[in-house]
Amino acid sequence: MLGGQGIGLPPPQGLWYPLPINQNYQPLGSAFEVAGGTALYVPPGWWYIRTGNYTQIQWLDPVSGQWIPITSIGPALYAMQSDGNTLRIVNPTGNPIGGLVTNVGSNYVQASTVVTLSVGNSQWRAIVGGALTAIAVGNDPNGTAGGTNFSVPPIVDIPAPPAGGVQATANATITAGAVTAITLINQGAGYPAGGLTTQPVIRPNPFDPNIGLITVPALTATVGGAGQIAAVLCTNYGSVLTGAQMAAATLTIAGAGTAATANPLFAEAVQSVALSAGGGAGYPGTAVDIDTVAAASLGTPGAIVNPAVSTKLFTPRRALISSVVTGGVVQAANISDGGLFMAAPAALVVATAAASAGLPTTATAATLTMGAVTDTVFLQAMGGAF
C-alpha cells in the first residue's frame, strides 16, 4: 500500500515528461529570467535559491497533487535540498492559480465532474465531498472533558485524506485548562464518506509550562459534503493570460450535479500605467504616488471552506508606483514594484505635497494594465549538505 488515510505518501517521482534528448539537466549559470507562467525545476542536490519580486518556491504535495507554496512571493535567499522532481521555482503572474468555491451545489459525482476556465488552456480538477464538518472534543483517559492543565493552545493533528484530496486543518481553544472547542480552518476534501479510520489528535505545545501535567482529550471528526464540491484545484496554469482575459474569465463546473459555482483566482501584477487628461494640471509639489487599492472582491466562500488551496495560495501586496510632477503636470509613471494581486485593483493618484498646498486644477486618473511580469532568480549549487 503506497498511501492512504493516516499513512504518509512518498514524494512523486518521475511523473513529468522527460527533457529533450539534448537538454542538460544541470544549469549552466546561476541567473535566470523567469517570465510569467514559467517554472524552473530545482535539480537534485543542495542549492542556494534567491527569488525575485514575483517568484516563489513550490513543493509538489503528494496528497493533493497540487504545487503548494513553501515560500512567500518576494526577494529572499533560501538554502534547500531538492530531489529534482518535487521542488520548483515559479513565476505565477498572468496565470490562474486556483478556484474559490462559492456554491457547493448538490448531487455531483467525482468521475463525471469537469471544471473548465473560459479562456486559455489551464487544467482543473474538482474534489467532490469528503469535507470535515466538525471535530468534537471528548474526554481524557481519566474521564475529564477536554483534558486538563493546558496553559497554551495545543496543535490539532488531522490525518491526510487518500491521495488526490485536500488535508483539513484546525486549531484548538482552551478555557480553564481544558480544550473546549476545535475550529476547522480548512475543512479538507476527499476524506472517506464513511468517516475517518484514524481520528485527529491533540498535540500539546512542548513549551507549555504545564507540559508534564497535561492530560489529552480524544477527538472525533465528522465527514460530510456528499455530492458537494469541496474544492477546485488548478493543476496546470496553462498559457499566460492578459489582464483583460483574467478580468472576464469564468469557471464552469459541469457533471451530474447542479448549482455549484466557483470564481477563478489569478496572480497578476501591474505592467503599465496610463494617465488621463494628459497628466492633469495644477498638481502641487514635485511628485505623486499612485496607490493600488480596493481590489475586486474574490467572492464569498460557500458552505465548505479550504483557503489553503484558494485565497491563501499567496499573500497579495500593493504596488509601488510614483510619478514626477513638472509644472503641475503628472509625468509618466515609474513602477518600482508591480505588486501582486488575485484580482485587478483600482488606482488612486495621491499628491505627496502637504494638504495646505491645495488641490490640482485638473485631476488625472490612472488606468492600470495588469498581467504577467518577468522576474530574475539565482540558483547556485552549494558545496555540500549541512
Q: What does the longest C-alpha to C-alpha distance in the chain come to? A: 80
Question: What are 242's three cell numbers?
Answer: 492578459
Question: What are 224's three cell numbers?
Answer: 460530510
> What does 132-179 look like in DSSP terms, one character per residue?
EEEEEE-B-TTS-BT-B---SPPEEE----STTSB--EEEEEEETTEE
Distance CA 350, CA 362 (A): 13
3-state secondary structure labels for all residues of 261-310: EEEEEEEEEEEEEEECHHHCECCCCCEEEEEEECCCCCCCCCCCCCHHHC
Neighbours of 20 (CB within 10 A): 6
Q: Are 106 and 304 in contact (CB under 8 A)?
A: no
Cβ contacts of 298 within 8 Å, gap of 6 or more: 100, 263, 265, 311, 342, 343
Distance CA 153, CA 170 (A): 12
Q: What is the pTM of this model?
A: 0.88
List the pLDDT tens digit at each of the 386 positions of the chain. Answer: 455 566 655 555 544 455 566 666 677 778 999 999 999 999 889 999 999 999 999 999 888 888 889 888 889 999 999 988 899 999 999 999 999 999 999 999 999 999 999 999 999 999 999 999 999 999 999 999 999 999 999 999 999 999 999 999 999 999 999 999 999 999 999 999 999 999 999 999 999 999 999 999 999 999 999 999 999 999 999 999 999 999 999 999 999 999 999 999 999 999 999 999 999 999 999 999 999 986 667 899 999 999 999 999 988 999 999 999 999 999 999 999 999 999 999 999 998 888 788 889 999 999 999 999 999 999 999 975 44
Distance CA 117, CA 113 (A): 14
Distance CA 281, CA 62 (A): 58
